[in-house]
Amino acid sequence: MSASKKQPSLSEAMLLATVARRFYVQGRSKLEIAGEFGVSRFKVARMLDTARESGLVRVEFSLPVPVDLALSDEVRSAYGLKRALVLERSTEREPKEVVRGKIGTLAARLLEEIAVPSDVIGLSWARSVNAMTEAIRSLPRCPIVQLCGVQAGMDMRGRSVETVSRVTSVSGGDAYPIFGPLVLPDRRTTETLRRQPGIAETFGQFRNLTKAVVSIGAWQPGESTVYDALDEAERAAIAARGATAEVAARLFDASGNALSTGLAHHVLAISHEELMAVPEVIALGYSRPKAAAVDAVLRSGMVSTLITDAAAAVPLLALAAKNPPSPRE
């Protein structure tokens, strides 16, 4: 409220508050209120506006999750998403692992709400997706498919195979794991493993996916599972090709285009084309260092729902304002 705004007198305030109570609390229409007070419905509308502008009436939203409604709506609109859930700004001061837990919990609540028995759900490995699986309490009986291999060096509880196992223990559906490393030494080894019966069965499920939960990685240290699995020369070579973002071991440039590199031939992972064909993709991408990567993936048109935090959402909106995303098929 502006400091120069004229405050209503006591009698005016009482009238405004009474009219506002009729409308907001009792659910009376503007026409009904106009008849009671002997004014036009346009006058009632102006009185309601004045009641809000003067601070007599404050509109608040009490959501069941800690989400910034305004930022969520702005991000959703800027990128043409089906949904955007942005953690409230207070989380900017919290440790990253706490924010990760909240991101995972939001994803869990959403997946519990929208999953149906006919779904085939894919999961990529990431700490945030792992946090989601630990927060899930109920799911319909549907298949759970691992989207990429196991990152080397992870403890057993954090690996993608165990992530899939935890979700299927909740859903009771079939599990389709990938018992193989994420990054392999060469194309021949990759093709050999893809032909193994268990892995081939999982890869055969990619075309059946109806929903997927993935994490958005940035092509920089500590922000991408794949980046950290490669040696320095490979990282630099891929960066020189324009890599900005990574999802399930698949790379995107800053414009959201699928990036073709030698990496595609030695990872056990769903393909770009199969990812783009999934009808509903829930992407988890948060923190300021990942903003450009999140922007890139959103521009690809792959994502239907984004779950993020204010630290990423604010620069995201700046990127979208500077270079508005183009609608994609």
| Domains of the chain in sequence order | 10-54 (1.10.10.10), 69-322 (3.40.50.1360)
What the block records as the tokens of 164 is: 């899939």
What does the DSSP assignment read for 123-189?
Answer: E---HHHHHHHHH-----S--EEE-B-BPTT--GGGSHHHHHHHHHHHH---EE---SBSB-SSHHH
Rg (the chain; Cα; Å) = 25
Residuewise pLDDT in 10s, the chain (329 residues): 444 567 788 778 889 989 999 998 899 999 999 999 999 999 999 999 999 888 888 876 655 568 888 899 999 999 999 999 999 887 777 888 999 999 999 999 999 999 999 999 999 988 899 999 999 999 999 999 999 987 655 443 445 578 888 899 999 999 999 988 888 888 898 899 989 999 999 999 999 999 999 999 999 988 887 888 888 888 899 999 999 999 998 999 999 999 888 787 888 899 999 999 999 999 999 999 999 999 999 999 999 999 999 999 999 999 999 999 986 54
CA distances (Å), 327 to each of 55, 78, 254, 323, in order?
40, 11, 16, 12
Q: What is the pLDDT of residue 3?
A: 46
Torsion (CA) 163, 168, 309, 217 in degrees, nearest 10:
40
Q: What is the pLDDT of residue 63?
A: 59
Amino acid at 241: R
Looking up tokens 């990282």 gives: 235
Q: What is the pLDDT of residue 157?
A: 45
Task: From 154, 112, 160, 158, select the one nearest 135 (Cα to Cα).
Answer: 112
What the block records as the tokens of 270 is: 């769903």
Task: From 181, 179, 161, 114, select the one nearest 142 (Cα to Cα).
Answer: 114
Looking up tokens 């048109």 gives: 301
Residues 111-136: b if buried by 16+ CB within 10 A, e if exposed: beeebeeebbbbbbbbbbbbbbbebb
173 contact partners, CB below 8 Å, separation of at least 6: 139, 140, 141, 142, 143, 144
pTM of the predicted protein model: 0.81
| Angstrom distance (rounded) from CA 252 to CA 257 | 5
What the block records as the tokens of 12 is: 């005016």
| Angstrom distance (rounded) from CA 44 to CA 155 | 64
Residues 217-238: b if buried by 16+ CB within 10 A, e if exposed: bbbbeebbbbbbbeeeebbeeb
Q: Which helix (H) or strand (E) holds 72?
A: helix 69-79
Three-state DSSP class for residue 254: coil
CB atoms within 10 A of CB 104: 24
